[in-house]
Amino acid sequence: MTDLQCAARVFVARHGEAVYESELLSDAGGWLTTLGREQARLLAEAMANERIARVWTSDMARAVQTGEIVAGALGVDVVVRKGLREFGVGDAAGTDGVPDPFAATFASWLAGDLAARIPGAESGEEVVERYGAVLEEIADAHRGESVLVVSHGGVMCMALSALARNLALSHSRDLPMPNCGVVALEGDDDGWVARSWAGTTL
């Protein structure tokens, strides 16, 4: 990040509730349910007093739809970035996800082993690198402004815990991210600091 004298405030939100074309695992985007659309409208209300300059979202449909609802309510533009998407399912694509094929790798990430890799997909280090790169792009584009980022629960819990210097990687272990839950971030000379996590002040 540059010129942190005018750092951005970045609110990172999970997308609204979604359904998918198949019960089998895939990297497909899904789409919002009626409840998910209502959650997005409530997110827009929660952001109404934050003077949001722009909404950034992952390229997965459930995030884009959430972002478009919020942006429409706030009267701002939407920017899409692939780097904000959920971690990939890798070799588990096409399976029913029973037992959970990601549990061991995700537990390793939260325990500090970011070299662990989902078979056929990314390592934790790779996830944090591409996610952090987009957050830096956002911070540099919005110095002195507030922005909303719409992303995904798994990648938020792991990558934000890794990027925020006041959080342990294990922070989210007992704090799952609800649909449209928000993490508030601020930048400083040493990087990112999390100010709140899903409604809890840090």
pLDDT classification of 1: cutoffs 50, 70, 90: low
Partnered with residue 184 across adjacent β-strands are 11, 196
> CA–CA separation, 194 vs 79, rounded Å?
23
Q: What is the pLDDT of residues 85-123, one digit of tens each?
A: 999 888 888 888 888 888 999 999 999 999 999 888 999
- Per-chain mean pLDDT for the chain: 92
pLDDT of residue 5: 60
pLDDT of residue 95: 85
> CA–CA separation, 104 vs 119, rounded Å?
11
- Residue linked to tokens 């029973």: 98
Measured in degrees and rounded to the nearest 5, phi and psi for residue 178 equal -70, 160
39, pLDDT greater than 60: yes
pLDDT of residue 93: 85
Alpha-helix residue ranges (DSSP H) falling in 49-181: 61-74, 103-110, 124-141, 153-155, 161-163
> CA–CA separation, 10 vs 145, rounded Å?
9
Q: What is the pTM of this model?
A: 0.94
189, pLDDT greater than 70: no
71, pLDDT greater than 90: yes
Mean pLDDT for 187-196 is 85
Percent over 70 (pLDDT), the chain: 97
| CATH at residue 194 | 3.40.50.1240
**How many domains does one find in the chain?**
1
> CA–CA separation, 172 vs 166, rounded Å?
13
- Residue linked to tokens 């911070």: 139
Question: Is the distance from CB of 71 to CB of 50 less than 8 angstroms?
Answer: no
> CA–CA separation, 145 vs 141, rounded Å?
9
> CA–CA separation, 114 vs 17, rounded Å?
28
Domain range for 117: 4-201
The H or E element spanning position 172 is: none
Q: What is the pLDDT of residues 123-136, one digit of tens each?
A: 999 999 999 999 99
Which tops the pLDDT comparison, 73 or 103?
Answer: 73
175, pLDDT greater than 90: no
